[in-house]
Amino acid sequence: MNSFEELEIWKLAREICNDVWHFMEKTSLGKDYSLKNQMNASSGSIMDNVAEGFERNGNKEFTQFLSIAKASCGELRSQLYRCLDREHISQEEFDRVFSKTITEGKKIGAFMAYLKKSERKGAKYD
């Protein structure tokens, strides 16, 4: 793998970021400045930490950044509840993005487990 853009977990994180951006642009979430900023940060943290960890070129560091990305999935799920409770988004919108964050968290967790078991320790050790 040559770049983080090839990672399925990064592609899904990007999709989640775009979903959150859509909420900010097309719903009343755009006027709930505190929640909007928190959701923008947590969704961005998922994709950014996948990218940063990949660029560290070592499995141990990559796993650490993936752990942060996974935690950001949980943070975003909590924020989605607030978004739903404040009626910024519909139940259908909530369910769609919530499901993506569950899938993303599972995929990140599985990738972390793979990296921990891998014989290859990262490009910086080649």
48-75 pLDDT, tens per residue?
999 999 999 888 999 999 999 999 999 9
Q: Please determine, for residue 126, whether its predicted confidence score (pLDDT) is greater than 50.
A: no
- Work out the mean pLDDT of the chain and round it to a whole number: 94
The structural domain count of the chain equals: 1
Q: pLDDT confidence of 124, banded at 50, 70, 90?
A: low
DSSP characters over 21-46: HHHHHHSGGGG-HHHHHHHHHHHHHH
Give the CATH number for residue 45.
1.20.1440.60
**Per the domain annotation, does 105 fall within a domain?**
yes
pLDDT of 10: 97
pLDDT one-digit tens code per residue, 87-121? 999 999 999 999 999 999 999 999 999 999 887 66
Give residue 33's domain range.
4-119
Give yes or no for a contact between 82 and 109, defined as CB atoms under 8 angstroms apart: no
Tell me whether residue 96 is in a domain.
yes
Question: Which residue in the block uniquely carries the two structure tokens 């990305």?
Answer: 69
83 in a structural domain: yes
Residue 125 in domain = no
